Amino acid sequence: MLQNSRCFSWAPSEEKKNFSDKAKQNLERMVDASERLDYILDNIEKMLETTAGDFKLDLSPVQLEILIKEVIEGKELGAQEKQIKLGFEEPKKLLPTINADTTKLKYIFWELLTNALKYTDAGGSVTISAAQKDGLVEVKIADTGCGIPKERLENIFTGFAKPDIIHTHQAGMGLGLHIVKKIIDLHKGQVQIDSKESSGTTVTITLSV
C-alpha cells in the first residue's frame, strides 16, 4: 500500500495570526507541496490498479450535462484566479443518458480541465462542448493554451509521458492522460487529442449512448 501525505493537515487558527510573513509563506509552501504529492500518488495508485487489471466500472445512468457542470463548478475559482474564461456550450437538446461510471467520468473531465487550465495563460479560454452525433455523445475540451509539440502527440497517452517537460513545477507526472485513456477504453469509447504549438489543444471524447 502506498503511503502518502494525507495524514498531513492543517487548519487556520488564532495562533496563525501571530505568524510572521516568512512563517506563513513556509507553511503555505508545505501545504502546496503536500497537495502536489497527494495528486501524484493518487495517480500512481490508479496507474497500478489499471496495470493490475483491477480497474472496474460501477455503471449507472449518467446525464453528461449535469456531470460536466459539477466539474466546471469545482474549477471556476481556479480559472478566475488565472484570469481564464471557462465556459460550457450546452447542447440545444438534452443529451440521452449514457451507461457509465459517474466517479470515473468526473475524474476524466477534472483531469482534462486541470491540464487545459494549467497550460493556458491569463486572458485565454477553456471551453467544453457536448453534442449527440450519429448515435454517440461527443464531448470536446478546447483551450487556447501553448499546445503540444507534434512529436509528443504520438505517445501522449503513455504513462509518465508529460505533455511538456518544461513545466516541471506543475503537479503530476504525465499519468493523468494514461488513466483517462484507460477509463475511456473501459467504456468502449474513444479519445483523441488535436494540438498545435501556440494554438491550443482540443480533446475529443466519444461515448456510446
* Fold for the domain defined by 60-208: Heat Shock Protein 90 (3.30.565)
Q: How confident is the model at residue 160 (pLDDT cuts 50, 70, 90)?
A: low
Mean pLDDT across the stretch 76-85? 93
Q: How confident is the model at residue 6 (pLDDT cuts 50, 70, 90)?
A: very low
Q: Is the dihedral of CA 121, 103, 34, 164 positive or negative?
A: negative
Looking at the DSSP bridge assignments, the partners of residue 126 are 86, 143
Q: Quote the CA–CA distance of 135 and 171 in Å, as a whole number.
A: 37
Q: Which residue has the higher pLDDT, 129 or 162?
A: 129
Mean pLDDT across the stretch 94-110? 93
> Domain spans of the chain?
60-208
Residue-level pLDDT at 38: 66
Q: What's the pTM?
A: 0.73
| Helical segments of 97-207, H only | 102-118, 150-153, 175-186
